[in-house]
Amino acid sequence: MSPAPVPIPPESVMVWLGASGSPERLVWRSRRFHVTDTPTALVGTADWWKPFEPHSYGIGHLPLDIAGWRFQATADDGETHVFDVRAAGDAAPQWQLLRIFD
């Protein structure tokens, strides 16, 4: 049985991406966490497709983009969580915490 996510209000976090574009560390509530597993991309419908989304053309599937990331991260004291985050802005990368799994 997988752990239930902890409900949280919308919250901003800082995320640093590596050369591959995936998260390497996160600061949440003034605490630094290092990613300790392989992040998984969370995908959603590509922004440029959203005006067409209500229509079904019956061929293939909708074009997808990375909408966020799920990863395990650990603080220096050993506290570990699984975080779901998504980019919240285009101009300057801002991140929003979606869920935490304990």
Q: What is the pLDDT of residues 14-59, one digit of tens each?
A: 999 999 989 999 999 999 999 999 999 887 766 666 666 666 655 6
Statement: residue 62 has pLDDT above 70: no
Integer Cα distance of 6 and 8 in angstroms: 6
85: left (phi over 0), alpha (psi -120 to 50) or beta: beta
Domain spans of the chain, in order of start = 5-41+68-101
Global pTM reads: 0.74
Chain segment 70-102, per-residue pLDDT in tens = 999 999 999 999 999 988 866 557 899 999 998
Q: What's the mean pLDDT when you consider all of the chain?
A: 82
